[in-house]
Every structure is written in C-alpha cells, then in structure tokens.
Amino acid sequence: ILAGYIAVSIADKPGIVAGMIGGAIAADGSFYGSDAGAGFLGGIVAGFLAGYIAKWIKDIKVPKAMAPIMPIIIIPIISSVVVGLIFIFL
C-alpha cells in the first residue's frame, strides 16, 4: 500500500498500479528466490522506482489517437512490467 501511494504522489494516477505491484513483490521474497521479503524499506524503494518510471513514460510524446489510453492501459502495464522485472532480476 505504501509503495502505491508513493508512486501516486510522484506520477499521479498512472503510477498506482506499478507501485502496488512493486510493493507486493518487495514484501514477498518468494518472487525473487529469497526466504524473507524486503519489508517496508523495499516498499519505499519500489514506490519511488514505480513513480519515476511511470512519470518518465507519461512524458513520452505519443500520437493524438493514442493519448487517451496512455494513463489507463499503456503506462500501468509497461511500468508494472519494468518494476517487476527490476525487482525480480536485480
């Protein structure tokens, strides 16, 4: 929950999904082969990471026809995948 709201404070609504998923991965160590999760400090890192990734994607110029679906579908999916892969493999 903490990671999601940190991401929202940085990237607004498109960041909440990536923040929540990043926080869940940080809390549960079984995703990345650890017996213990990263705890709330990992959640804070996941929130900042998700927020800045979503903000970076939000600033990319896209065609006019694609702009309405960016904050609803594209940004949450791409930022969630990137945050998940970073937490699992790094």
Domain definitions of the chain by residue range: 2-89
Alpha-helix residue ranges (DSSP H) falling in 1-90: 2-11, 16-27, 39-58, 75-89
Name the token pair of 77. Answer: 């999916």
Say which amino acid occupies 60: I
**Tens-place pLDDT, residues 21-46:** 999 988 887 776 776 778 889 899 99
CA distance 27 to 39: 5
8 Å CB contact between 83 and 39: no
**Tens-place pLDDT, residues 72-82:** 999 999 999 99
8 Å CB contact between 10 and 73: no
Give SS3 for 63.
coil
